[in-house]
Amino acid sequence: MPADKSDILQGTLDLMVLKTLEAMGPLHGYGIARRIEQISKEALQINQGTIYASLVRLMQKRWISGAWGTSDNNRKAKFYSITRAGGKQLNTQAENWERISAVIGRVLRMAGQG
């Protein structure tokens, strides 16, 4: 069984994938990985393979759907797009994320003052 330690990281990656798909429309795995790296200003150098575990999880939950298509330079690739359920999920998770990060930020600042 996969270990549970990286839960937060997994969840974060899933959220980023969802957001990317919402912003960019249908994309293939490489495109998603590339986009996340670019947006994060190359601060987040992910092992690109891990994107696929995230995609499988999101597919299983029906938050994204996948279909085979043709890429810009004529390669067969699987394109993922966000579903309506995925959109809703993105909203709630994004809110959650903002709230938690705000709370964590406050706590950390407070600890710094103390």
Partner 1 sequence: MLSWIRTLGSRTRAWLWPDRVDQDFERELSTHLDMLADENIRQGVPPEEARRAARIKLGGVAQLKETNRELRGLPFIETFFQDARYATRILRKNPGFTAVAVLTLALGIGANTAIFSVVYAVLLKPLPYANPDQLVTAFQANTQEGVPETGVSYPNFEEWRAQNHVFSELAGITAHQLTLTGRGEPSVVDTCVVTPEHFALLDVKPLQGRIFYPEDGKQGAPPAVIVSEHLWRGTFGADPKMLGSSIILDKRPFTVVGIMPAGFRSPFLNTKQEVWIPLVQDPLFGNWMARRGGHWLPAFGRLKPGVSIARAQAEMDAISERLASEFPAENKGWTVRLVPLQKEIVGDVRTALLVLLAAVGLVLLIACANIANLLLTRATARSKEIAVRVALGAGRSRIIRQLLSETAVLGMLGGMVGIALAYGGVQVLSSLIPGDVPRLNAIHVDKLVLAFALVLSAIASVAFGLVPAMFSVNSNIGGSLREGGGRSGESRNRRRARSVLAAAEIALAMVLLVAAGLLLRSFSKLTAVSPGFESQNIVKAEVSLPQFQYSKPQQWTAFSDELLTRIQAQPGLQNSAIAIPVPIVDGFINLGFEIEGAAPKSSSESRTADYVSVSPEYFRVMGIPLLSGRIFNQQDIASAPRVTLISKALAERYFPNQDPIGKHLNFGFPPNGEVSREIVGIVGDVRDTSLGNAPGPMMYVPSAQAPFWGADLVVRSTLSTSAVAAAIRQEVRRIDKDLPVTDVGKLPDLLDASVSQQRFRTFLLGVFAGMALVLAATGIFGVISYSVSCRTNEIGIRVALGASRSTILRMILRETLLLTFAGLLIGIPCALLASHLIGHMLFGVSAHDPATLVAVAFVLAAAALLAGYVPARRAMRVDPMTALRYE
Binding site residues, partner 1, CB under 8 A: 1-2, 28-30, 33-34, 47-50, 52-53, 56-57, 59-62, 71, 73, 75-78
Q: Which is nearer to partner 1, 16 or 55 (CB)?
A: 55
CA distance 63 to 55: 10
Q: Is 1 strand, coil or helix?
A: coil
Q: Which is nearer to partner 1, 71 or 91 (CB)?
A: 71
* Least distance between partner 1 and beta carbon 56 (Å): 5
Q: Which amino acid is at 103?
A: V
Length of the chain: 114
Token pair for 50? 């891990």
